[in-house]
Amino acid sequence: MSAYSSLFPIFQRHRALFGLVGTALFSSPLSAADWPPASWTETTPAFHIAGPIYYVGGRELAAYLIHDEGCDVLVNVGMEDNSALVQQSIYSLGFQPNDIDTILITQAHMDHAGGAENISQASGAVVAGGAADVELMQRGGLQDYVFGDDLPFTAVSNTKALNHGDEVQCGDHTLTTIATPGHTPGGSSWRLRFPVENDGKSVMKTALLAGSVSVLSDAQLIDNEHYPQVVSDFRSTYQRFEQEQFDYFLPDHLIFIDPRNGEAPKPAWFENQEALAKILQRSKKQLEKKLAEEAG
């Protein structure tokens, strides 16, 4: 039995956990055996996506390695149970997990940041994210504006807060921080530009490492004393994402780009320019519906 099975009542209470309700994953009735969803710890072989970017995550919970000369940046880890999987994936590519300098976290929930402290301790990497998410990681997920103290994870000790526009350097590559709060108050995304060879010519490409914008069904949006600006944050995040132009879309959950034909994840999945628009449209609908419900 998983260490998380005792959390099942909480899982049932927060049926829209991590915004996946309405997807194939949770369309059937839930039972304790579904928690955590089997796909969350399912493995998949690591592979090169493009330029300096490699996929080192699981079958559902994404993790990306940005590798350049003398630098390794990990974007998201997964649950605590996933940290060994991610380290194994990095080894399998011929890289060293203990070379990781920085761990970027798109959202301080246990399915992305739960394994951050393990890898930070092993490698000495600093764990970075939006300021409010850094505080949430330092509290081990406690006092979350939606979950309260229900979904704790191992607190992160070596942290760095990043603001909108802050740059993270990795060798010749620059990751630019895009503040995308709402799902969590310090939610963040990163834009990465890199050259690829095409017919002997060097062409610049852009990857968007995107945080979630799901509106959790238990989120109180009006007069939330823990997060008063939650609604305006979601709206500014929509606007920021709508300005982004990119060649590669790298979400924190693979379900957003999974064609669900039973195939394992592969590089072509990430050359998806439509997924973000669909995700934004769904989030806007969720937001308006919740606001209407709360207004009575």
Residues that bind Zn ion (CB under 5 A): 18, 107, 109
**What's the min distance (Å) between Cβ of 148 and Zn ion?**
14
Q: Looking at beta carbons only, is 52 or 114 nearer to Zn ion?
A: 114
C-alpha to C-alpha distance for 74 and 102, rounded to whole angstroms: 6
- Burial degree of 220 (CB within 10 A; 0-12, 13-18, 19+): middle
| Shortest distance, position 55 Cβ to Zn ion, whole Å | 20
Question: Residue 128: CB partners within 8 Å, gap ≥ 6?
Answer: 102, 103, 104, 105, 134, 159, 160, 161, 162, 168
| Residue count of the chain | 296
- For the CB of residue 218, give the shortest distance to Zn ion in the complex, in Å: 12
User: Is there a contact between 185 and 136 (Cβ–Cβ < 8 Å)?
Assistant: yes
- C-beta of 95: minimal distance to Zn ion in Å? 27
In the complex with Zn ion, the residue whose CB is nearer, 90 or 208, is: 208
Residue closest to Zn ion, measured at CB: 109
Shortest CB 187 distance to Zn ion, Å: 9
Minimum Å gap between C-beta 79 and Zn ion is 12
In the complex with Zn ion, which residue's Cβ is closer, 89 or 107? 107
Nearer to Zn ion, 71 or 213 (CB): 213
What are the two backbone dihedrals, phi and then psi, of residue 24, each rounded to the nearest 5 degrees? -55, -30
Q: In this structure, are residues 74 and 118 in contact, taking their beta carbons and an 8 Å threshold?
A: no
- In terms of Cα–Cα distance, which of 248, 103, 107, 95 is closest to 170? 103
Minimum distance from CB of 109 to Zn ion (Å)? 4
Q: Rounded to the nearest whole angstrom, what is the least distance from the CB of residue 52 to Zn ion in the complex?
A: 26
Contacts of residue 221, defined as CB under 8 A and 6 or more positions apart, other chains included, come to: 215, 230, 231, 287, 290, 291, 294
Amino acid at 103: I
Residue number, 107 or 237, with CB nearest to Zn ion: 107
How many Å is the maximal CA-CA distance in the chain?
61
Burial label for 198, CB within 10 Å (0-12, 13-18, 19+), is exposed
- CA distance linking residue 182 with residue 283, whole number of Å: 10
CB nearer to Zn ion: give 25 or 46: 25
Whether a cis peptide bond, with omega within 30° of 0, leads into 36 is yes
Question: Is the CB of 123 or the CB of 237 nearer to Zn ion?
Answer: 237
Where do the DSSP E strands lie in the chain?
47-50, 53-55, 64-68, 71-75, 102-104, 126-130, 159-162, 167-170, 173-179, 188-198, 201-210, 248-251
